[in-house]
A and B are shown apart, each in its own frame.
Chain A
């Protein structure tokens, strides 16, 4: 589609008043129902987190860092902690690795449930699904609270381990929640993912080929929804993931439905991972002391957050604060892919919310 062929271009501002998960603006260039351009306008939630981190000690920095994507605080926080550990060569006790894995997967389920709920809203007229996911998410928030003391921003991972051990009764409660949730997943599949209305809105819409997904740099479920198998949990083998048995969810179609199918399958895998990690929880210490000042060095961590691969590059200069932290955020890359999408496939104005939300961008981690 070429803009010059169009009769009359109308620019629509989508946002910045909370188009979904934060303040962000898309400028849509439309002609009637056709969308020719989706231009992302970054920066409404830019907080200078990379700069702020240079003023915080390593442990203090974990709190602002998690603000990159609060809905997925554990995975995001882990990216920073792992980068520091990589730079200073800190090994983490086995038990801490397992506890980290459990909280990360709880966090992933939280995030995917939120994404699915909002996508159902975006597709028009599914408040029921949003209420379902919110109610089910509550169980996982409670689990996280039992483990960490906080429902959202955990700040639970610290260099060298985790802050606390698994509390008494956690395993029983988690298993109860999981077996309930596994039944709920079937309900989600039957009433939403295989629902005719949702399929009409999402199948074949916003199609992204594997080749384009790689070339443009899509991340996470957006990449795997296009048939590219790349998951940092398998690739980097961090924490306990190497010892646990799980599959990487991949779908070939590359449309909105495929991206959500990936999230749905990932939630199933997450429940398996949590079960295995709870069963095989090794004994031993859950953290080890780390000096406040770390030696000079350079660390790079890649963590599979719910939105995709988050890369953190830290430079240490021998003090108790990082010299420079660079975050390559998954949403930043996915928003770029969204902006290229109208060139690759036909998008109608009514599809825009579904298409954008199928990439699950978290504007705060894109703006940093």
Chain B
């Protein structure tokens, strides 16, 4: 199954939920979906397309467009292909459904995105501080663009 066929399989099943899809490089596919389709598309990727090996997840802040983009990186052992599953969420009220039920390990990555970007993952079992200290000031998200390093 080539990169285009993976994209085709997703858009055939979830046509209106897919915002954008492209082949970044050989064996690297990027697909942006609507937040409401995140869990069903992720489950489809895991169960039907064989994306079984989670690599990580992180977010990117775009203050100019008032959005934060969450990116999940998943590798398929059988297809030997990487997929970047992205979802945009508004910056003033970032909320996304959790994918920790689909890929176990996303639990930790989502906790990190929560404390660093303030994305609230609905249904997450344990949204607590991971890397930052427990007494970190509430509402301060260090990886957002408007947070400046104190020494700079």
Query: Does A50 reach chain B (CB closer than 8 Å)?
Result: yes
Bound-complex Cα distance A298 to B28 (A): 12
B143 touches A311 (CB 8 A): no
Beyond A300-B28, A368-B131, whether A324 also contacts B60 by CB under 8 A is yes
Which residue of chain A has the shortest Cβ distance to B103 in the bound complex?
A217
A328 touches B131 (CB 8 A): no
Bound-complex Cα distance A338 to B54 (A): 15
Contact among A46, A86, A300, A333 for B105, CB-based, below 8 A? A333
Residues in A whose Cβ lies below 8 Å from that of B28: 300
B52 touches A214 (CB 8 A): yes
B105 touches A336 (CB 8 A): yes
Residues in B whose Cβ lies below 8 Å from that of A52: 149
Residues in A whose Cβ lies below 8 Å from that of B149: 48, 51-52, 55
Q: What are 20 A-B pairs with beta-carbon distances under 8 A?
A: A43-B132, A48-B149, A51-B143, A51-B147, A215-B104, A216-B105, A217-B103, A217-B104, A217-B105, A230-B77, A298-B24, A300-B28, A311-B73, A323-B60, A326-B60, A326-B71, A328-B58, A328-B73, A333-B54, A333-B55
Q: How far is the CB of A230 from chain B (nearest CB, A)?
A: 7
B56 touches A328 (CB 8 A): yes
A332 touches B73 (CB 8 A): no
Beyond A86-B25, A328-B56, whether A367 also contacts B77 by CB under 8 A is no
Residues in B whose Cβ lies below 8 Å from that of A55: 149, 152
**Contacts A215-B104, A329-B56 known; 18 new A-B pairs at CB < 8 A:** A43-B129, A43-B131, A46-B131, A51-B142, A55-B149, A215-B53, A217-B103, A228-B77, A230-B77, A311-B55, A313-B73, A313-B84, A328-B56, A328-B58, A328-B73, A333-B56, A336-B105, A336-B107
Residues in B whose Cβ lies below 8 Å from that of A91: none
Q: How far is the CB of B93 from chain A (nearest CB, A)?
A: 21
Bound-complex Cα distance A298 to B71 (A): 13
Binding site for B on A (CB under 8 A): 42-43, 46, 48, 50-52, 55, 86, 214-217, 228, 230, 235, 298, 300, 302, 309, 311, 313, 315, 323-324, 326, 328-329, 332-333, 336, 340, 367-368
Residues in A whose Cβ lies below 8 Å from that of B61: 324
Which residue of chain A has the shortest Cβ distance to B115 in the bound complex?
A43
Contact among A43, A214, A228, A235 for B80, CB-based, below 8 A? A235
A217 touches B53 (CB 8 A): yes
B55 touches A216 (CB 8 A): no
B25 touches A367 (CB 8 A): no
Bound-complex Cα distance A309 to B131 (A): 21
Q: How far is the CB of A18 from chain B (nearest CB, A)?
A: 19
B60 touches A48 (CB 8 A): no
Bound-complex Cα distance A235 to B84 (A): 17
Q: How far is the CB of A222 from chain B (nearest CB, A)?
A: 13
Q: How far is the CB of A359 from chain B (nearest CB, A)?
A: 14
Bound-complex Cα distance A361 to B58 (A): 21
Q: How far is the CB of B64 from chain A (nearest CB, A)?
A: 10
Q: How far is the CB of B114 from chain A (nearest CB, A)?
A: 13
Bound-complex Cα distance A302 to B152 (A): 31
Beyond A43-B130, A214-B52, whether A313 also contacts B71 by CB under 8 A is yes
Bound-complex Cα distance A71 to B61 (A): 32
Query: Does B133 reach chain A (CB closer than 8 Å)?
Result: yes
Query: Does B9 reach chain A (CB closer than 8 Å)?
Result: no
Bound-complex Cα distance A86 to B27 (A): 14
Bound-complex Cα distance A298 to B104 (A): 27
Q: How far is the CB of A363 from chain B (nearest CB, A)?
A: 11
Which residue of chain B has the shortest Cβ distance to A210 in the bound complex?
B77
